[in-house]
Structures are given as C-alpha cells and as structure tokens.
Chain A
Amino acid sequence: MTSIRRAALVGNPNAGKSALFNALTGARQKIANYPGVTVERKAGKLALPSGESIELIDLPGSYSFDTTSPDEEVTRKVVMGEFAGEARPDVLIVVLDAANLEQHLVFAQEVLELGIPAIVALNMVDLAERDGLTLDPAALSGVLGVPVVPTVAVRRKGLSELADAVAAAEKKSGGSSQSQLPIASPHITLPERRLAARNIAKAATLSESAERRVNSSLDKVLLHPWLGPPILFALLFVIFQAVFAWADPFIGAIESAGEFANDWVVSAMPESFFRDFLTEGVLAGVGSVVVFLPQIIILFAFILLMESTGYMARAAFVMDRLMAGVGLSGRSFIPLLSSFACAIPGIMATRSIADPKDRLTTILIAPLMTCSARLPVYAVIIAAVIPATNVGPGIGLQGLVLFALYVAGILGAMVAALVLRSTVTAGKASGFIMELPRYQMPLLKDLLIGLWQRAWVFLRRAGTIIFTATIILWLLLTFPNAEQGENQLDVSYAGQTSSAIQPAFEPIGFNREMTLALVPAMAAREVAVASLATTYAVEADGDEETEAALRDQIAARWSLPTALAFLAWFVFAPHCLSTIAVARRETNGWKWPLVMLGYLFALAYIFAGATYWIAIWAGL
C-alpha cells in the first residue's frame, strides 16, 4: 500500500483556504516561489491521526481550470501533475465556502471530475449559519461521492475530522498516484455545470433565509458613493500616522540595544582592526536598517488586517474610478498599497491582475510608491535638516515634508501610468472584475503568522544583502589606510570611486559622501543610510555610530538645498536590486526592468536637480 505523501488545498478565492492551511499546519510553513513564476508556494506539515505527517500545500485560489491569470495557471498545472518538479498531490482537499455553495460548487465539480482522491471541507459553516443557512453535509457527500467535513478554520473546528478523512483517503489512493488520470468529461459545459451546482446546493441546503445583514449594512456605508471614499482616505491617513507615531518606542528600544551592543564590544575587546570592523562596519550598517522593522511591521499589520477582514476589495472598488483616470483599475490599488511597505510583495501581488498591459503598468510604477526602505533615508535626513517646528495646530513641519515626499511619489506614479498607458503599454482601457468577499473577523494567529513571514523576509535582507554591502563598503572605506595628515575618506578606494563619478552629480547639488552612498544603495535603499553612517564613522573614527550621530553630522555638513535634492532623488530612483530581479522574473526578460531603471533614474536626476536649483533660487 502506498502511503500519502502530499495533499493540496484547492478552491475558489475567498473560500478560506489560507485560514484552513494555517489552522492545519500551524506556524511552521515554508514560503517559497514555484520555479519560474512568482507565485507563492506555501507548504507545511499536516499531522495525521497515525502520528505520521504529510506535506500540505496551499494552492492559489481559482475559479476554473480554464485559467485567466498566472496563479490560476499554477493551480491547474499542479493539480494536473503538469508542473515540472512538482509531483501531483495524492489527495485534494476541496475547500468550499458553506455560504457560497452554489458558486463554489462550479469549480469543485471540475476538480472532482479529475478522479483524484478528494475530501470536501465545507468551510466557514458558522458564517453560513449567521447568514441563515442550514446545510446537510451528509446529503452533499451523497451527491458528490466524496467525504464532506464541516469546518470553521478560524475556530479550529472540524480539523481532526479533516485529518481523519485525509488518512482514510489513503486506502483509495493506494498505488493510484502514479497512474493515468481519468479523462475528465469534456462534454460538460459551464452552463451545465452551473445548473448542476445549483441543484447540488439546493439538495444540501436544509433551510435558507435571504438575510445578509452584516454585509449589506457595512457595504451601505463603506461603498457609499459619498461616504466610502472619505472613509478610505481617513483610514489611509490613520495608517501612515500610526506607522510613525506607534513605532517610536520600539525604534528607541532597538537603538538602545544597538548602543548597548556597541558599548559592550568596545569595552570587551582591545582596540583592533576587528573591533572597528564590528562597530563601524557591522553594527553601524546593519543596526541603522533593523531600526525600521517596527514601521514595516505596523504598515503590514494594517494591510493584513484590511485583507483578512475583506475591506481591501472594497478599497479597490472605491479607488477604481480614480485609477481608471490614469488607465488602470481598482485591482492595481492592492499591489500599489502593498508597495508602500515593499515593492517586492507589491509586484508579486500584480499577478491577480488579468489584463497584461494593466499588470505591466502597475509593475513599472510600483517602485514609485514610498516603500519602507526609503524611510530610513527620509527619516534621518528630515530629522537632520528640517526644524521640528509646527506649521499649524498639531501639524509638524517634519511630518509635512514626509507627507509631501509620499505625495510626490504617488503623483509621479499617476503621471507615469498615464504616460506609459499611452506609449509603451498602450492598449484598450482595462476592466475591473473582482469578487467582494464577505466581511470577517480576522483571527489574531493568522495575522501574526502573516506578520512574522514578512518581518522575516526583511530581517533576512538585513542579514544578507545589507550586511554584505555594508561590509564591502567598510573595507573599501578603510583601505588603503590614510597617512598622517590625510583624510581617510579621500584616500580610500571608495572615496576615489566617488570622486570619479562625482562630476555627474555635482550639477544636482550632491556632495561626495552622497554620491558614495548611491553606489552601495543599489543593493537596497536602506544601505544609503548605512553607508553614510559608516562613512562618517570611519572618517571621524568615532565610537558613536548611532543614528543620532549621523543626524548631527548631516546637519553640520549638508546645506538645505543639497539635503532636499537627496530626498527628491530617493522619491524616484530605483535603488533596489531585489525589485529589479522580481520585475525581471515577472515580465520574463530584461526589457521591462531596463525600461523601469531608465525612466526612474531619469526622473530622479531631473527632480533632484530641479529641487536643488529651486531651493537655491528661493534662498533656502
């Protein structure tokens, strides 16, 4: 008897697959991409009653095997066993939203026709009951010919029964996993399947009241033509306020920890090359980046909350008209909002956009959304050169400048979209077709799992790309050593390099340390701050490599027009190798990433220069 190796969750979008996946596998998940496509592959371990565990994978939500998007295509290929390097699942867990049976049974029939051993998870039965639906799982099982297990993923109900059913499916799957799939009945048309779905749903429904109170009353307000948009904008305002206000104590704690580590290294080790390497290189560089973890977590917490409650789709609805004005659709709002945290998940989220031109445009403008990697740059420079005064009740000048930088990015993106849509990505105006899922109370555990995954991605970046770039830069700054009376920065390899490219940046007001920071910042924007911190630390040979020390250095050395030009540069400049790599993978080639690099660097140069000269002219 062959034992089951792998099971997969399949079902419509919004059937609650991810919540079920989290409940079945716990927090230990492996998130990766399917080879060749940027579709997230989530895998975990499902414990069977026998004590054995099998691999469970969460497939992207799908409406049909007649696919309309790259993630639906992944689901189809994996289920059919056509995905290279990905064995066909031995058991399928077909997840149905109990309150949406008639709709979800259409795709479920398509899946069950394949003849792979399957179990139906009748999910969210509690919400169905809230909506006045009473279902009969036994009757559904009778019609479909597979076991049906009622579940409430977020309340962990029905999970052990589901594991039992998976184990029981082992008997059926014995030896069959390598055999040929029975040919699905191709003569069944979509309308026939839909009619069958209606009849099956009817047979499985014991009683039904037409009430949908919670949804319609919330939507009456949140989708109201005049109330909906102000509510969304107010929410976005609160989110960005929270990112700065709430993160402060945590940032302070991380800074203190960094200083403590620095002091400890200084006191525990004799003065040496290696000690300088640790304090000036590693702690100064990586520390100045990790400090921004709290802000990233807060922004992602709001995004996850909006997604898991079902509000995100409403936000897309509200934004659609506005996005249509620049040739996009409400669908693009979700990737673009994610890009405020990081362009990488943002660009990956564009895969749900069906129209290719629409998707390409969204990918090209995603780097203009002010991602959290720019925050270190903005925060340090604003704190250094913009006075902390109030320009109105409760409105600080520093906050206003930061707000202006966000707005500049958004406006830049809108104009870029408009231009791109009428030139390189010209095409028919794209549509907007999107399911608005039911509102739901999110589960804290699911939010925490999502947050942990994103925080981990950031920390891994800090530990790899940023760490490496910082060390290389520190070495280039330290060698060759300056003779008595020489400036270390002037003598170093890094200093020589920046002197060489300096003439190109002189006209837009950049000084040499800034030019120097731009080169390693290609690895990741935050490295600009790490680089400035390391540069000034090496130059001053100081023991203080904190953010505060860097702020003082900038305040003392940079003129206001120079600092503003640097900020303007970072609004547009595509400093991020990971974004470029993801864009290459998503667009299958170098053409579009190069277009992205070209137009963004051109914008950055023009706007930094304009900012510099306008500031000079205004006498700042």
Chain B
Amino acid sequence: MSSSDTLDMIARGKRVAITSVDWDSLAPEEGKRLRALGLDEGAEVAVAHRGVFGTRDPLAVEIGRMTIAVRRVHAAAMQVEAL
C-alpha cells in the first residue's frame, strides 16, 4: 500500500486511518457534513460496502459504531494509511 492511496481504492473490510483530506476538492457544505460525521483527519475507518450492480458508487464507510454512506468523490479526497 503506497502513501498516496485514497479511501475509494481500499479493499472492503480493511481498517485504515485517514491521514489527510483534500477539502478544496469538495463542496464546502459537503465538507462540513463529512467533518460533522467524523470523517476527518485521524479517523479510523473501513469500507464495508461498495456500489450496486458492479459500480464503485456509493460506499458505506464504518467509523466507530456508525456506518456512513458517501460517494466515491468524497472517498477519493481522503488519503489513508493502513492500521
């Protein structure tokens, strides 16, 4: 796993930590909502589900005891590293 992996590329079930988020690539309101839900630097997450009918959108991300649905663009803005 290279240091430039983003959350959308991570295999299902693998636990990772978010190292940085490219907030500028996201709409301000969406960034705010993601932060409010805890998807921010330092969060430990895992991708639980991905897509329907073979697509890669949307993703269900586990954080703490919550599951949050996000789009691939959101996950692609999050740099992660393996735990």
Contacts and interface: CB of A to CB of B under 8 A. Distances in A.
B67 A432 contact: no
16 contacts: A102-B65, A194-B38, A224-B49, A225-B52, A225-B53, A225-B54, A226-B52, A226-B53, A320-B52, A355-B27, A428-B27, A431-B70, A433-B34, A433-B68, A435-B37, A436-B69
A215 interface: yes
B58 A191 contact: no
A68 interface: yes
B47 to A, nearest CB: 12
A605 interface: no
A432 B71 contact: yes
Contact of B51 (A194, A225, A435): A225
B32 interface: yes
A190 B37 CA distance: 11
Contacts of B73: 431
A68 B33 contact: yes
Interface of B: 26-27, 29-30, 32-38, 40-42, 48-55, 57-58, 60, 63-71, 73-74
Given A219-B60, A225-B50, A432 B27 contact: no
| A contact residues, range | 35 or more
A483 interface: no
B65 A100 contact: yes
B66 A100 contact: yes
Nearest to A229: B52
A223 B49 CA distance: 7
Contacts of B67: 215, 219, 435-436
Contact of A330 (B49, B55, B69): B69
Contacts of B65: 99-100, 102-103, 131, 212
A316 B52 contact: no
Interface in A213-233: 215-216, 219, 223-226, 228-229
A318 interface: yes
A171 interface: no
Contacts of B49: 219, 223-225, 317
B33 A321 contact: no
A106 interface: yes
B37 A433 contact: yes
Interface string A503-530: 0000000000000000000000000000
A493 interface: no
A271 interface: no
B59 to A, nearest CB: 9
Contact of A431 (B42, B52, B74): B74
Given A63-B33, A100-B64, A433-B34, A321 B52 contact: yes
Contact of B48 (A216, A330, A434): A216
A321 B66 contact: no
A131 B64 CA distance: 13
B54 A435 contact: no
Contacts of B54: 225-226
A190 B35 contact: yes
